[in-house]
Amino acid sequence: MRTVGMILAGGRGTRLTVLSNKRAKPAVPFAGKYRIIDFALSNCVNSGITNVGVVTQYRPRSLQDHIRTGAPWDLDRQSGGASLLQPYQGRMDGGWYEGTADAIYQNSDYLRNVKPDLVLILSADHIYKMDYSKLIQFHSDNKADVTVATLRVSVEEASRFGILHADNTMRVTAFEEKPKQPKSTLASMGIYVFNYATLMKVLTEDAKAPDSERDFGKNIIPKMVSDNFRVFAYPFSSYWVDVGTVQSYWETHMDLLADQPSLDLLDRDWIIHTRSEERPPVNIRTGAIVSHSLITDGCTIEGSVEYSVLSPGVRVARGAVVRYSIIMTDCTIEAGAVVDRAIIDKHVRIGAGAHIGYGNDYTPNQDAGISTGITVIGKDTTVPANFKVGRNVVIGSDLKSEDFTGDTIKSGTNYKVEMID
């Protein structure tokens, strides 16, 4: 059956703080060389799905620059391939997408042109590997109208997800979106397979409903269950993470540094493809110490790096220490600086002798939702020499040395963070 993949990639990701102030959440770098969206795109191609629509909205430029014609994923095709779908103002209904369901509904023309039998709807901001062909086979075997990919979560986590109740055939009997007191731990992954005709029917009806939030989890799936459509839950049990918070983003990187990581990026049978520029090999110089880390092309290491992920072009000068941190492209950690438990965005310079993650004060940052000591620094910022930054701090983008006052930023604070509504 002809299947089209629709990747919802318009989310802002406010809980990632400054990491998503200038880019859509799916475009946030991951694991040194990838973007978060690479996992959904690669899963599609590896599953044999070569018609893929990428639905964008918030700050789409970085996604456009990354995907372009889709060549790294073998999606630059005369027939099918990757299509970037942006909201537009037209003679009929248009404008910003009101919800996940509306994002698909407003691209009905694209789907009609593709003429699919099935529509696979995906979120672009999850880290996982999945063979969608198995999900599609399950959908067909059960003669389902829609199939929801699911996984078991802990009781403590369940209230963060759409929760399903299913009988012993995995037919869904109830669906609750983020219930305060969940009665099940079977959670929706935000991955759906619809029969095309059914999808168009329910989206058209939902568009006419005045009280709908135009959302699959809040409106479409619950109503389909109550209207007795054949809704099935596909069980998935492998590694899957929503990297929508600073904490989960940092933890997922640390997971990759285990001797036997749950997510194997070295697996040649399921390659995660990406667009990357040519850089020279890593240069590890005399006296450098590197352990339990991912170091990407173009890095120069003269200091110490442990339990960290370094993107292309990072320079760690002699006497500098980087530990339990994520350092993005073309950052410089100058001589004698210490970076401890931090996420540092692109083109940041940490001055000589500066200390990021200073001291043992773990005062939570309530605004950013950070409490475990992680400090985040936005793009294109220069932290002055010998400056101290505490823990659970968020520092804004585009700051020069002279923008910093005093010699310390206390733990648990936001410093010159641009808030974008």
Give 346-396 pLDDT, tens digit per residue. Answer: 999 999 999 999 999 999 999 999 999 999 999 999 999 999 999 999 999
Residue 260 CB: number of other CB atoms within 10 A? 5
Residue written as token pair 């006052």 = 405
Q: Which of 190, 221, 256 is the last residue of a domain?
A: 256
The arithmetic mean of pLDDT across residues 94-111, rounded, is: 88
The arithmetic mean of pLDDT across residues 398-404, rounded, is: 97
Do 249 and 291 belong to one domain?
A: no
- Contact present, 408 and 358 (Cβ < 8 Å): yes
What residues contact residue 336 under an 8 Å CB cut-off, 6+ apart? 317, 319, 320, 352, 353
Tokens read off for 384:
């002055």
Do 79 and 42 belong to one domain?
A: yes
Q: What is the chain's percent helix, strand, coil content, to nearest 5?
A: 20, 25, 50
Collect contacts of 305-308 with beta carbons under 8 A, ≥24 apart: 307/254, 307/257, 308/257
**Backbone region of residue 63 per phi and psi (left: phi > 0; alpha: psi in -120 to 50; beta: other values):** alpha
What residues contact residue 150 under an 8 Å CB cut-off, 6+ apart? 164, 186, 187, 188, 189, 233, 234, 235, 236
Question: Is residue 321 over pLDDT 90?
Answer: yes
State the total domains in the chain.
2
CATH of the domain at 184: 3.90.550.10
Do 86 and 227 belong to one domain?
A: yes
From CA 147, how far away is CA 102, in angstroms rounded?
A: 19
The arithmetic mean of pLDDT across residues 91-103, rounded, is: 76
Give 67-96 pLDDT, tens digit per residue. Answer: 998 999 989 887 789 999 987 654 455 567
Percent of the chain surpassing pLDDT 70 = 97
Do 109 and 245 belong to one domain?
A: yes
202, 204, 208, 210 alpha-carbon torsion, rounded to 10°: 50
Do 289 and 225 belong to one domain?
A: no
Does residue 240 lie within any of the structural domains? yes
What residues contact residue 353 under an 8 Å CB cut-off, 6+ apart? 334, 335, 336, 337, 385, 386
139, 140, 144, 149 alpha-carbon torsion, rounded to 10°: 0
Does residue 267 lie within any of the structural domains? no
Q: Tell me the Cα Rg of the chain.
A: 23
Does residue 387 lie within any of the structural domains? yes
Does residue 268 lie within any of the structural domains? no
Do 406 and 348 belong to one domain?
A: yes
CATH of the domain at 381: 2.160.10.10
Does residue 263 lie within any of the structural domains? no
Do 297 and 208 belong to one domain?
A: no
Question: Is residue 421 over pLDDT 50?
Answer: no
CA atoms within 13 A on the CB side of 193: 27
Q: What is the DSSP letter of 11?
A: -
Which domain range does residue 121 map to? 3-256
Mean pLDDT rounded to a whole number for the chain: 94
Give 237-285 pLDDT, tens digit per residue. Answer: 999 999 989 999 999 999 999 999 999 999 999 999 999 989 999 999 9
Does residue 275 lie within any of the structural domains? no
Do 210 and 297 belong to one domain?
A: no
Do 106 and 178 belong to one domain?
A: yes
Tokens read off for 396:
């804004």
Confidence of residue 59 (pLDDT cuts 50, 70, 90): confident
Does residue 377 lie within any of the structural domains? yes
Do 121 and 212 belong to one domain?
A: yes
Do 297 and 385 belong to one domain?
A: yes
Do 241 and 303 belong to one domain?
A: no
CA atoms within 13 A on the CB side of 190: 21
Does residue 266 lie within any of the structural domains? no
